[in-house]
Amino acid sequence: MSHHSTKPLSPGLYIVATPIGNLGDVTLRAAEVLKGCDAVACEDTRVTGKLMKHIGSAKPLWRYDDHASERDRARIVEAARTQAIALVSDAGTPLISDPGYRLVRDARDSGVAVTSLPGPCAAIVGLTLSGLPNDRFLFAGFLPSKDKARGDTLASLAQVDATLLFYETGPRLTRSLAAIAEVLPGRMISVARELTKLHEECRTAAAAELLEHYEAHPPKGEIVLMIAPPEEVAVSKDDAESMLREALETMKTSQAAAFVAKETGIDRKTLYARAMELKGQ
């Protein structure tokens, strides 16, 4: 890592992504900010202390976590008016299922400059490893711990046409897999754990298969739990025709053909030709 002198940081709040496991993933820019700032707001001073030691920085560490008060936030925002204050979480990108958005909101409302440094994020690492569709995804934080609330949450997301991403803990994983098997049967599931660490693992299979594995091998640590989107249901010719007839009642021929094509995936020109036939009848 370079040790060249850098120009002093401007006052403000710096959101700094930190490694999710492997300390080698700290970016050069993150290291520079953590060395050049005046203080670091962090969830756990012991965890952040290890990272600071790794990069050779000894800045004051201020506790800022889920239990932080308005007074704590006000102190950090006030300090950031005249000093460079870094905000980190224990692992990954701050504010993603971590405390911090209120602090950023208050800083912005107070006219304090806010800068975000991109870097590691467990949800994105898990998604790229999973082999599940990643052109559209919905990150939904942690699933509820109560069985009914967990099932209700999964049911409410059943029709979302995207890969679903959740954070989960080792002790709760099997109950979540059981709920997915019941509420969203047939979906491919991916479990990514120990990401960037020595025993990194990513398993993709049906929920029942993963449930059997993890009941026999109870997992530890933080987990990214991913659920494939619903399968596209093939539309029959009869269904497409009835949709076309209905659309023609309120739309022009070309509009009706375009609408049904979008809804069914059937070729628009084919639908347009059929719509003209129906109009002529």
Q: Are residues 139 and 111 in the same domain?
A: no
Q: What is the CATH number of the domain that holds 177?
A: 3.30.950.10
The overall average pLDDT reported for the chain is: 93
Amino acid at 235: V
Token pair, residue 112, equals 């304090």
Residues 6+ positions from 78 with CB-CB distance below 8 Å: none
Q: Are residues 169 and 87 in the same domain?
A: no
Q: Are residues 110 and 27 in the same domain?
A: yes
Residues 6+ positions from 237 with CB-CB distance below 8 Å: none
| pLDDT value, residue 1 | 47
Distance CA 221, CA 6 (A): 37
Count of domains forming the chain:
3
Q: Which of 208, 227, 246 is the last residue of a domain?
A: 227
Q: Are residues 183 and 168 in the same domain?
A: yes
Taking Cα atoms as reference points, which of 57, 70, 125 lies closest to residue 96?
125
Q: Are residues 16 and 112 in the same domain?
A: yes
Answer whether residue 5 shows pLDDT above 70.
Answer: no
Distance CA 173, CA 219 (A): 8
DSSP state, residue 164: E
Residue 1 maps to a domain: no
Task: For 86-106, write each residue's pLDDT tens digit.
Answer: 999 999 999 998 878 999 999
Q: What is the CATH number of the domain that holds 19?
A: 3.40.1010.10
Q: Are residues 16 and 113 in the same domain?
A: yes
Residue 70 maps to a domain: yes
Q: Are 200 and 220 in contact (CB under 8 A)?
A: no
Task: For 180-223, write each residue's pLDDT tens digit.
Answer: 999 999 999 999 999 999 999 999 999 999 999 999 999 998 99
Q: Which of 117, 135, 162 is the last residue of a domain?
A: 117
Mean pLDDT within 38-42: 97
The count of residues in the chain is 281
Q: Are residues 19 and 104 in the same domain?
A: yes
| pLDDT value, residue 281 | 74
Residue 203 maps to a domain: yes
Q: Are residues 112 and 26 in the same domain?
A: yes
Q: Are residues 108 and 129 in the same domain?
A: no
Residue 67 maps to a domain: yes
Helix axes 207-216, 173-183, angle to 10 degrees: 160
Token pair, residue 99, equals 């405390």
Residue 210 maps to a domain: yes
Domain of 37 in residue numbering reads as: 12-117
Task: For 222-246, write each residue's pLDDT tens digit.
Answer: 999 999 999 876 677 778 888 888 8
| pLDDT value, residue 2 | 46
Task: For 250-268, write each residue's pLDDT tens digit.
Answer: 899 899 888 888 888 788 8
Task: For 62-90, write each residue's pLDDT tens digit.
Answer: 999 888 889 999 999 999 999 999 999 99
Task: For 131-140, write each residue's pLDDT tens digit.
Answer: 999 999 999 9
Token pair, residue 86, equals 């870094």
Residue 6 maps to a domain: no
Q: Are residues 60 and 130 in the same domain?
A: no
Q: Which of 72, 101, 117 is the last residue of a domain?
A: 117
Q: Are residues 46 and 78 in the same domain?
A: yes
Residue 219 maps to a domain: yes
Residues facing residue 168 across a β-bridge: 223
**C-alpha neighbours within 13 Å on the C-beta side of residue 95:** 15
Residue 208 maps to a domain: yes
Q: Are residues 192 and 245 in the same domain?
A: no
